[in-house]
Chains A and B, each alone.
Chain A
Amino acid sequence: MSQPALTAQDIQRALIRIAHEILERNKGADNLALVGIRTRGVPLAQRLIEQIKIIEGVEVPLGLLDITLYRDDVATGKQNPVLKKTDIPFAITEKTIVLVDDVLFTGRTIRAAIDELMDFGRPAGVQLAVLIDRGHRELPIRADFVGKNLPTSRDMRVQVQLAENDDTDQVILEKRVIDKGLNKRKED
């Protein structure tokens, strides 16, 4: 296996820094809420909330977003994704929402997430925090808080593994395995 692009410690440091940046940008945790994009945005958002609590002593609310139904490539693939529930247990109107995801790539996931979020109300503002920005944007979207910029080629795959889902914390860069060409994945 190749050397991890980020180790557990790198991830931890990046998240602590992002938590500070979020608080700095928003002048505290008032009116703030974090929304994790399923699947791996959720544990990242939870960790950021823990950090914010340590720094500021405030526990900001957590929302979960499943963007499957807002994707722009429904029915272009042959697979049905496992649908998970969207759960926003607070009113988002007038709140500053920080969307959290693991990898920012084409920007299409974030487009879908913003669309879905807007169906829940009118937030005061939406910011974006990602662990990895790997470039190759297809939409005019940028992250407000980035753990690490990771230059990649398109045929590479960035795998974020988090203890909550994968037993270990690390980010791996690997060559994509093209499965027979037919099932070429549409990227987000």
Chain B
Amino acid sequence: MPFPHKDLLGIGQLSKDDILTILDATESFKEISTRPIKKVPTLRGRTIVNLFFEPSTRTRTSFEIAGKRLSADVINVTGSTSSVTKGESLLDTAYNLEAMNPDILVVRHSASGVPHMLAQKINCSVINAGDGAHEHPTQALLDLATIREHKENFDGLKVAIVGDITHSRVARSNILAMKTLGMTVTVVGPPTLIPVGMESLGVRVSHNLEEAIADADVIMMLRIQEERHNQTSFPSLREYSILFGLTAEKLKKAKEDVIILHPGPVNRGVEISPDVIESGHCLILNQVNNGVAVRMTLMYLLLGGADENPN
């Protein structure tokens, strides 16, 4: 079955089968990064442009490494060093990059919908690497890949997503993916950080961390995105941390085999305490590790793999 998409703009476009196809292939791509020569020739001669209008360490590096391990040529363009600072519009920048014939444009932008708009205007494949508070599909997929390594089945898993839900594209992509896979999701945070009508996505809303994590199989902690707050959403970081920060003490209320995810960057001591990060439950670095394999998979699938071998 061919992978039926040219672009990856959001989890919303993926069926359950699509998600499982990606996760199955990810396991194979992961092996490549353990080889003595961490490179396969699959995308030789292809060009991938990373167009990042927001700061990023993990995601940009991960896309770059993923492309390079597939032998593609990867070019990084960041907003602050591009001609956008000279007044060029986003679309003109994209048209000019497209004139150099890239095969994939990886886009991160602070405005929701930018990857969708570009995908309509240009011919190459577009991957959404995070758009505003909308979606961050590759993050959700790498989270799922990490969960899959530690839990037998997606169906029926209980997940608590904790923190700044309003500003989190990671939460949105994960909720969409997890609901598609039959998981039960509870979002946790102060009322000011949870959008009204959240229940319409099929999730439960809680304002009590200890109650919400008691029966969770997976806890996903989110960073307070202060850079996106234009008003005060809670009295102080200290108070937020006391109520919604995950500490070893609160973790005692959770299941023995609970796993903890965090998309990074972490604000140690705010949403998650250092002793929790050091505990065996916390899989932050596994997530980063899986991120490379997930992005390799997507590049491969979007650029259309090969025929099946007849002999």
Q: How many residues on the B side are at the interface (Cβ–Cβ under 8 A)? A: 31
Query: How far in angstroms is the closest Cβ of chain A from B299?
Result: 11
B240 close to A (CB within 8 Å): no
A84 to B28, alpha carbons, bound, how many Å? 6
Flag the segment in B197-205, B218-226, B249-257, B301-309 that touches A: B301-309
A115 to B40, alpha carbons, bound, how many Å? 9
B239 close to A (CB within 8 Å): no
Query: How far in angstroms is the closest Cβ of chain A from B36?
Result: 6
A102 to B301, alpha carbons, bound, how many Å? 27
A134 to B36, alpha carbons, bound, how many Å? 35
Q: Is the CB of A79 within 8 A of B40?
A: no
Interface 1/0s, chain A 90-126, versus B by CB < 8 A?
Answer: 0000000000001101000100000110011100000
A78 close to B (CB within 8 Å): yes
Q: Is the CB of B36 within 8 A of A87?
A: no
Interface 1/0s, chain A 76-94, versus B by CB < 8 A?
Answer: 1111111111110000000
B-chain residues with CB within 8 Å of residue A102 when the two chains form the complex:
311
B31 close to A (CB within 8 Å): yes
B27 close to A (CB within 8 Å): yes
B-chain residues with CB within 8 Å of residue A79 when the two chains form the complex:
1-2, 305-308
Q: Is the CB of B309 within 8 A of A75?
A: no
Q: Which of B2, B29, B39, B43 contacts A74 (CB 8 A)?
A: B43
> Which residues in chain A, 61-83, are within 8 Å of chain B measured between CB atoms?
66, 68-71, 73-83
B-chain residues with CB within 8 Å of residue A158 when the two chains form the complex:
311
Task: Closest B residue to A121 by CB, please name it.
Answer: B36
A157 close to B (CB within 8 Å): yes
Task: Closest A residue to B29 by CB, please name it.
Answer: A83
**Contact (A105, B311) CB under 8 Å given A77-B304, A79-B305:** yes
**Contact (A76, B42) CB under 8 Å given A84-B28, A119-B35:** no
A16 to B41, alpha carbons, bound, how many Å? 36
A121 to B311, alpha carbons, bound, how many Å? 27
A78 to B6, alpha carbons, bound, how many Å? 12
**Which residue numbers of B lie inside 8 Å of A, CB to CB?**
1-3, 21, 24-25, 27-29, 31-32, 35-37, 39-43, 70, 300-301, 303-311
9 closest A-B pairs by beta carbon, nearest first, are A77-B307, A80-B305, A69-B40, A103-B311, A119-B37, A69-B42, A83-B28, A83-B25, A81-B308
Q: A69-B41, A85-B28 are in contact. List 15 more A-B contacts (CB 8 A).
A: A69-B42, A70-B42, A73-B307, A75-B304, A76-B306, A78-B307, A80-B1, A81-B309, A85-B27, A87-B31, A103-B311, A105-B311, A119-B40, A120-B35, A160-B311
27 of the cross-chain contacts (CB-CB < 8 Å) are A39-B309, A68-B305, A70-B41, A75-B306, A76-B307, A77-B304, A77-B305, A77-B308, A78-B2, A79-B2, A79-B308, A80-B3, A81-B308, A82-B24, A83-B25, A83-B28, A83-B29, A83-B305, A87-B31, A105-B311, A109-B309, A115-B41, A119-B35, A119-B40, A157-B310, A185-B310, A186-B306
